[in-house]
Structure 1
Amino acid sequence: MTGRIRACRFGVIMLKLFWWTSLLATIGFIVSAVLWLPHDWPVWLGVLLAVIGIEFAIFWIGIVIVYLTSVQLGLKIRVIGILCGWIPIANLVALRLIIRTVDNEVRFESAKEVLNRSRAPRRICATRYPILLVHGVFFRDTAVLDYWGRIPGELQRNGATVYYGEHQSAASVPDAARELTERIRRIVETTGCGKVNIIAHSKGGLDMRYAIARCGAAPMVASLTTINTPHRGCGFADYLLTKIPTSVQNRVAATYNAAAARLGDAHPDFMAAVHDLTQSGCARLNARIGDWREMDKTTAPGVTPIEPDPADPFSGIVCQSFGSKLRRATTGKFPLNFTYPLVKWFDGPNDGLVSRPSFPWGERFIWLEPNGTRGISHADMIDLNRENIPGFDVREFYVQIVAELKRRGL
């Protein structure tokens, strides 16, 4: 068990102790007040003050520890705890929410630690070729600015060697593809690994398809797994670009490009990236790429055999795709809670940004739709919020993807 989880467990034990001892003390003081007051009031008052002091210490030790160490509390529950802490009854409800949330976190992380220790000797993610994680638009994915949340660490704990795309946050697909091709070439030449297994999220999947088909990356790629990639674009993006005045688009683009340049992007291009994510933009890209691994939009999960084609730049590369469904807007974090209804109106079931018909590509497509009312958003698929989602362990999801690549000799 990690130090953080041990601290979380201690903190939640202290809060549980506070909860039950406060309840028993309250009952005890009510009963003792009938027996001792008014003739023994000094003793009663002294005991009351001593108990209040002890309970005060227990509570604050517990609450400070869980606030400092818990990941799953998040900002929302922390704010609820602070706001409700001074309101009778509401503070008890908030405390129960905090205890339940942290207790579940401790149980989940402890079980995950046990699982990883039990399979550590097998190094199930130690693939023949290293893993290259390729980010989507408007983010970076370096080891410092971690786009992928807890996923890289989980892969490495299970034997994987992980690299990052480290390309610009916003650029056209062709520009990003050229940048990624050079990144792959540097990795291959520096390490002598020969090839890489690529896992690409969102626009990163389009960038990598273009890199393989048009930029010469194909000989250096063993597999390409796309995660929630809009292979056929986002219909609502086409709509927005026709409704938002050009002057507003230009102001937004200029503001973003200036900020991205200060953060390290050499040639940020907000509008080029956005246009390449529209349905019309993806249609143009697919025409240039040659949609060698196009799947029928109704393809069920499973493997579709594809005969090797000498003219196919993807020949010999394992290609697969995944997509997920967000069930309702309220379970998507900002801004997906706003975009989900728009995408649903224009494109149907979606992850908050990309619809189901746009996801399938490659030899295999898997649609993720867990039980319950929450679903899995575009951001959940990269652990952006570090949230333990009931019914979907995002870290284990990636571990199993990479473990399967290892089983296939990649």
Structure 2
Amino acid sequence: MKKIRGTFLSIPVLLLANAPALWKLIDINSLLKTLIIILLTLYTLVFMFKSHGRKGSHGKIRRLDSGAFVLGCGVLQSVIQLIIVIVLCFTQLNGWRLLANALCAYAVTTLLCLSGIVRIAASARQVKILWYVILLFTWYIPLVNCIVFRKFYKAARSEYYFEQAKLDLDAARKENEICKTKYPILMVHGIFFRDWQVINYWGRVPNELIRNGAEVYYGKQQSANKVSVSATEVAERIKEVIAETGAEKVNIIAHSKGGLDSRYAISHLGMDKYVATLTTINTPHYGCKFVDMLLGKIPESIQGFVDRKYNKLFTALGDKDPSFLDGVYDLTYKNCSELNASTPDSQLVSYRSVMSKMNSIRSAGFPLNIGYLLNKPYGKGNDGLVTVESGLYGENSKMIEHKGKRGISHGDVIDLFRENIKDFDVREFYVDIVKELKEKGF
């Protein structure tokens, strides 16, 4: 229906695109022709910049819908215009008139497409950078640019339908507050990251949980340090959240090394009485054997150099006393084995673990694709950093099964790249985790 509407509404734009030919072919007063062209020009400008998105939609989503609509009309006009150019060649129009008409049609159609592209670029998250680079070098090439424009159109429409469906779903279940747990959620990040306000480690997940009733807080530990040091920071954060909310306990959802930090805080720092549940996501409970291998081969001088540079950088970014090497060494198989031996699970806490895996080297970009290859000799599958065997911990463990060629990487599972992956809705994945916690009384 929307395509039919778009075709109908863009007819005046098509007439303007062929104004040089119509001026010659239509026998009416020149003043009237000029007036018609002015009106068609004004209509085209309004059509290009007016919002065509669904009323009531979120601002960005509506802009995305509008951009896709305008771009779709532009691509369709490009095809129709090609037919018109061929037909006009068999009329009495001379070569100069045909050339002028072709240039006018090219200019109007290209501007229409670029108008849609600008809106998409301002709103879309699913169009890869590579396509913007390709667009930069091809937007002026007829036919080739149509192929690129269509790629943008399909990506924008797909994202719009997905995001609008999410908003509709959240609106339909808003009153149910399916993520409103008894205890607040504490999300604990992994190594080499911080809980920045501008760039959320957990991507779009926290806002999705909040929209469904969850009360979300962050671990705020430093980016890299020994498990024991990070655990102390997590323990302090647990106490802060309890003091702030008045809750008796918290539900921890921890990713990567954050799971080790949380386990240490629970078992060694007395946090078991303040933690109701611990859900670890792709945590290397049994270490990363490829890290042992790399540390055994990389000279200590280089290790020290990287350590100093990293610590200096992240001190500037807000860490108090980061330690790159201490954090990395605590991810080795040896150190994790020692941690497991000295860190029994508390009977006061309900534990669960989740793990995913990549299905090929093309499942993720650098450095996870390299990590995928380095990890292959050490397990039956891995997420680019952690093997399946290391990530599945305890009796209540779950493997994310993804049937596609891509699989789910260490970054995908926390929405690091803000990508809508086919057959894996990362936001709904966390909604289901928290929903289950609520259903179990946590």
Whether TM exceeds 0.5 here: the answer is: yes
Structure 1 position 50, deviation (Å): 4.1
Q: Aligned ranges for residues 323-334 of structure 1 at < 5 Å? A: 323-334=355-366
Structure 1 position 235, deviation (Å): 0.7
Instruction: Name the structure 2 match of 1:377.
Output: 409
Is 2:167 the partner of 1:167?
Answer: no
Is 2:323 the partner of 1:269?
Answer: yes
Q: Percent sequence identity over matched residues?
A: 45
Structure 1 position 22, deviation (Å): 1.2
Q: Quick check: 1:140–1:169 contact (8 Å CA) kept in 2? A: yes
Instruction: Name the structure 2 match of 1:30.
Output: 86
Q: Quick check: 2:273–2:348 contact (8 Å CA) kept in 1? A: no
CA distance in 1, matches of 2:269, 2:214: 27
Letter in 2 for 1:25: Q
Instruction: Name the structure 2 match of 1:12.
Output: 68
Aligned with residue 178 of structure 1, among 232, 235, 241 = 232
For 1:336-378, what per-residue CA distance to the aligned partner results, in whole angstroms no more than 9, with x for missing partners? 0111111112333000110011012234111112111000000
Aligned with residue 70 of structure 1, among 124, 130, 154 = 124
Instruction: Name the structure 2 match of 1:236.
Output: 290
Instruction: Name the structure 1 match of 2:27.
Output: none
Structure 1 position 136, deviation (Å): 0.1
Structure 1 position 316, deviation (Å): 2.9
Letter in 2 for 1:284: E
Q: Aligned ranges for residues 11-410 of structure 1 at < 5 Å? A: 11-38=67-94, 42=97, 44=98, 47-87=101-141, 89-290=143-344, 292=345, 314-410=346-442
Structure 1 position 75, deviation (Å): 1.8
Distance 1:86 1:337, change over 3 A: farther
Q: Quick check: 2:208–2:431 contact (8 Å CA) kept in 1? A: yes
For 1:57-105, what per-residue CA distance to the aligned partner results, in whole angstroms no more than 9, with x for missing partners? 2112111111121010132222232233345544333222211111110
CA distance in 1, matches of 2:440, 2:348: 12
Structure 1 position 142, deviation (Å): 3.8
SS at match of 1:139: coil
For 1:243-299, what per-residue CA distance to the aligned partner results, in whole angstroms no more than 9, with x for missing partners? 000100000001001111111111101111001101111011112213x3xxxxxxx
Q: Quick check: 2:284–2:386 contact (8 Å CA) kept in 1? A: yes
The TM-score with structure 1 as length reference comes to: 0.91
CA distance in 2, matches of 1:234, 1:99: 42
Which has a greater percent of helix?
Answer: 2
Letter in 2 for 1:389: I
Letter in 1 for 2:94: P
Q: Quick check: 2:272–2:348 contact (8 Å CA) kept in 1? A: no
Which 10-residue stretch deviates more, 77-86 or 202-211? 77-86
CA distance in 1, matches of 2:381, 2:138: 37
Q: Quick check: 1:143–1:164 contact (8 Å CA) kept in 2? A: no
Distance 1:409 1:118, change over 3 A: same
Letter in 2 for 1:4: K
> Which blocks of at least 5 consecutive residues in structure 2 are unaligned?
1-56
SS at match of 1:369: coil
CA distance in 2, matches of 1:87, 1:252: 46
Which 10-residue stretch deviates more, 360-369 or 61-70? 360-369
Q: Quick check: 1:81–1:98 contact (8 Å CA) kept in 2? A: no
Letter in 2 for 1:18: G
The CA RMSD measured in Å over matched residues stands at 1.5
Distance 1:3 1:60, change over 3 A: same
CA distance in 2, matches of 1:87, 1:173: 56
Number of aligned residues: 386
Q: Quick check: 1:73–1:102 contact (8 Å CA) kept in 2? A: yes
The TM-score with structure 2 as length reference comes to: 0.84
Q: Quick check: 1:12–1:62 contact (8 Å CA) kept in 2? A: yes
CA distance in 2, matches of 1:67, 1:327: 30
Q: Quick check: 1:141–1:164 contact (8 Å CA) kept in 2? A: yes
For 1:185-218, what per-residue CA distance to the aligned partner results, in whole angstroms no more than 9, with x for missing partners? 1111122111110000000000000000001111
CA distance in 2, matches of 1:408, 1:164: 23
For 1:141-198, what per-residue CA distance to the aligned partner results, in whole angstroms no more than 9, with x for missing partners? 2433310000000000001010000110001000000111011111111221111100
Structure 1 position 25, deviation (Å): 1.2
CA distance in 2, matches of 1:150, 1:127: 19
CA distance in 1, matches of 2:408, 2:176: 30
Structure showing greater Rg: 2
CA distance in 2, matches of 1:346, 1:191: 43
> Which blocks of at least 5 consecutive residues in structure 1 are unaligned?
293-313
CA distance in 2, matches of 1:136, 1:249: 20
Letter in 2 for 1:8: L
CA distance in 2, matches of 1:82, 1:56: 13
CA distance in 2, matches of 1:78, 1:50: 25
Structure 1 position 37, deviation (Å): 2.9
